[in-house]
Structure 1
Amino acid sequence: MADTHTRGTMGEEFACRCLQADGYEILARNFRSSHSEIDIIARKDYVIAFVEVKLRSQTALAAPMAAVSAAQRRRIVLAAVSYLKEKGIYNTGEYQPRFDIFEVVTESAGSPNVVRYAHVPAAYDTGDLHVFV
């Protein structure tokens, strides 16, 4: 059985391949700021998507998206602001930030076999997080 880190990396690699096949350019993986980590930062046209990848087995009690708490969303938004400022594109109007979730569901807890996945664009916004982007 693979450990949590190995499974997380597998989920992120799977998500990157899917996003690239859908026309996204991967700008960064595992971007860290003092606030949090963002699994994938991807660009398509004028959108920069900050993507949280959640991998679960099909026997899990809840959907992968349910594992993204309000506190985690807030940390991701703050990290996204750090990324945009670091790149000099914060509040320039050049890109529209978006917060996505990429769900990966595997056959079982130790299995690398993906049985379904979903990219959920604009899975959440900053309205209830008391953070401004």
Structure 2
Amino acid sequence: MGKHNEFGKEGEKIATDFLVQKGYVIKHKNYRYLKSEIDIIAQKEDVLAIVEVRARSNDQIIPIADTITKKKIKLLVMGADYYVTENDLDIEVRFDVITILKNKSIFKIEHLESAFYHF
């Protein structure tokens, strides 16, 4: 496995731990539907958070959150819609991004709630 894949998995673990500490219940990790993959599905009270995790070792070129394309957003929406329908949920759905920036052994975590809206 490449170093970037290892760091990606480490980033998802850090994001999961971060959400649990904030009172979220992790419902699913790496949920797949067709071409859609959702990194984390978490719930806090009456909100279901569809979470995209972005981890990088530098933020020099563009901010990490800006690397999420319209195509990726559409895939996340499709996967979330299927998850909610499949599980017969009547719940508010929110799309979040957690960015993790690694500088040597220090991690900077940012949780962007309602990072984008489906269109």
Within the alignment, does 1:124 sit opposite 2:116 as a pair?
yes
Partner of 2:78: 78
TM-score (norm 1): 0.83
Return the letter of the residue paired with 2:13. Answer: E
Could you tell me which runs of 5 or more consecutive residues in structure 2 were left unpaired when the two chains were aligned: none
What pairs with 1:1-133 in structure 2 (closer than 5 Å)? 3-89=3-89, 94-107=90-103, 113-126=105-118, 129=119
Could you tell me which runs of 5 or more consecutive residues in structure 1 were left unpaired when the two chains were aligned: none
Return the letter of the residue paired with 1:42. Answer: A
TM-score (norm 2): 0.93
Larger radius of gyration: 1
Identity between Structure 1 and Structure 2 (%): 29
Q: Displacement of 1:5 after TM fit?
A: 1.7
Return the letter of the residue paired with 1:39. Answer: D
Q: Give the Cα–Cα distance (whole angstroms) in 1 for the partners of residues 59 and 86 of structure 2.
A: 40
Q: Give the Cα–Cα distance (whole angstroms) in 2 for the partners of residues 82 and 100 of structure 1.
A: 17
Give the secondary structure class of the aligned counterpart of 2:5.
helix
Taking only aligned residues, the RMSD between alpha carbons, in angstroms, comes to 1.3
Q: Displacement of 1:116 after TM fit?
A: 1.0
Q: Displacement of 1:35 after TM fit?
A: 3.3
Give the secondary structure class of the aligned counterpart of 2:56.
strand
